[in-house]
Chains A and B, each alone.
Chain A
């Protein structure tokens, strides 16, 4: 059955159940909102960065004295190369740069094949039915750091790393989590739910770069397979309720105290298979609840290189 649009579904469901239509976006609070701006670097100096945004505009942003940048490792913002794709966390109505991530990518998938080219390793990953296959290079100098937390570079095991995209190839740099000790088909069952679903569920929120640039939304694991056209959906190691593409979620970053209302725009079939915890501020309960688009993740105060934040998620 064709999936038409999230907005239409939202309007129809609200009309049928007599509820109000919610608009996506941050929930206004007293704290200063963060803005996520993506684009390509045109020019950069110690105090100013000029980027070309996807809609063709040129943005000139002031770099705050405390601002830092990341491109495989912590770098000085003025050292970013021209042409790098950046995601910027900006303050003051999006005019002052607080943090820059350049050419960052996150590679989450199931290992299909492992190849060795000289000292570097190449992993073929299955990233879900709608995301296809990806290839990631694990450089020799990063392999020790990665293998401490991903001991099994074997087909059938999950892989989740953060890296940089160089010349169209993803190079892993940091492990985004500890590798689950089970194969991707053997996810532990969720704990038995006694009496009703809780209105708010706590767990981990991560990000993924498979969303469109500037897209706001989340990928959610617990979708009906027939609705989402995703045969791997509907598996999670936390007791999550079923939702659909187009449902609105209220995502709260417990660490930064920021909240956004975001639509479910994709199937998070691989996120549901990780039973990890986030240690950003205290220890979160087990299980990934949502995978956010980079823009939503940054606007909620998340650090892309940390990979996750402790989240509390509820309906609408």
Chain B
């Protein structure tokens, strides 16, 4: 019975370590804003230039552990996992004592909330789980995973539930999804807006007026992105064709105007895309 419970924690541990690896790597490589790492995890305990390498090293260490546990049944990896989580508990304790304002960084940027009893409790539970695995048969992890049956499911789910209950990141993620920053405050990729513009009917009906396929100016104001193209009015005068693309939604509103060199709007006759043909007389 106890062996079943201990064995069932292997998929939970593997899942958690993999999630930690991916999240840390993403945060370390896609620094969302300068200084994001200065609020995260044990990395703040080292000098500024070492922060990214330390976070990457931590992620690689987790990946190494998962790989070792899944591929080989060598006791080194099982003992390393115990040591890793025990050390993490100590580091988080130290972090809480020295820098109570920073998050644990366990799952990268999502774990930016200051380290509390729940984060500490989670590493203690993980240490217990990995120690429990020492009593299971020392076979490669993939064999254990392949041999899991329905009798392991309740124990695995229970383990997962305990960890979720101890994870402050869950609430953070829910809050981020629920209270998303309004469109005006979100950083948005200009290339996406250009793609949406080119897929719009307004673009197709005005592309004939443009004298260059590349915009000469582009800027963003609140939730609109503007693209300016050199072009010619239906009467043949040089004009600027300005498109405004709304930045929210999959099929956003697109507006267009033709402006002459004096800054006055020019009336754009809708171009006929096809010649109407009468079918009968």
Contact = CB atoms under 8 A, between A and B. Distances in A.
Interface of A: 1-4, 7-9, 11-13, 15-18, 21, 183-187, 190, 192-197, 222, 224, 226-227, 232, 234-235, 239-247, 315
Interface string B111-150: 0000000000000000000000000000000000000000
Contacts of B182: 193, 195-197, 241
Nearest to B102: A186
Contacts of A9: 217, 219, 226
Contacts of B256: 16
B274 interface: no
Given A11-B263, A13-B242, A241 B222 contact: yes
Contact of B220 (A15, A235, A242): A242
B185 A8 contact: no
A200 to B, nearest CB: 14
A12 B185 contact: no
B195 interface: no
B190 A16 contact: no
Nearest to A222: B185
A241 B184 contact: yes
A10 B175 CA distance: 37
Given A17-B224, A193-B185, A11 B259 contact: yes
Given A12-B242, A16-B255, A244 B221 contact: yes
Interface stretch (B33-41, B89-97, B152-160): B33-41
B217 A185 contact: no
A12 B228 contact: yes
A239 B184 CA distance: 10
Contacts of A186: 35, 38-39
A183 B259 CA distance: 46
Across chains A and B, which 10 residue pairs bring their CB atoms closest together, nearest first?
Answer: A185-B35, A241-B184, A244-B219, A11-B263, A15-B257, A16-B244, A12-B242, A186-B38, A15-B265, A16-B257
A1 B220 contact: no
6 contacts: A185-B38, A227-B220, A242-B184, A242-B220, A243-B221, A315-B222
Given A1-B218, A12-B226, A246-B219, A224 B38 contact: no
Nearest to B175: A192
Interface string B248-259: 000000011111
A128 to B, nearest CB: 13
Interface centre among A196, A222, A241, A246 (most CB of B within 10 A): A241
B242 A16 contact: yes
Contacts of B34: 185, 232, 235
A192 B226 contact: no
Contacts of A245: 219
B226 A224 contact: no
Contacts of A7: 263
A224 B34 CA distance: 14
Contacts of A15: 242, 257-259, 263, 265
Contacts of A187: 35
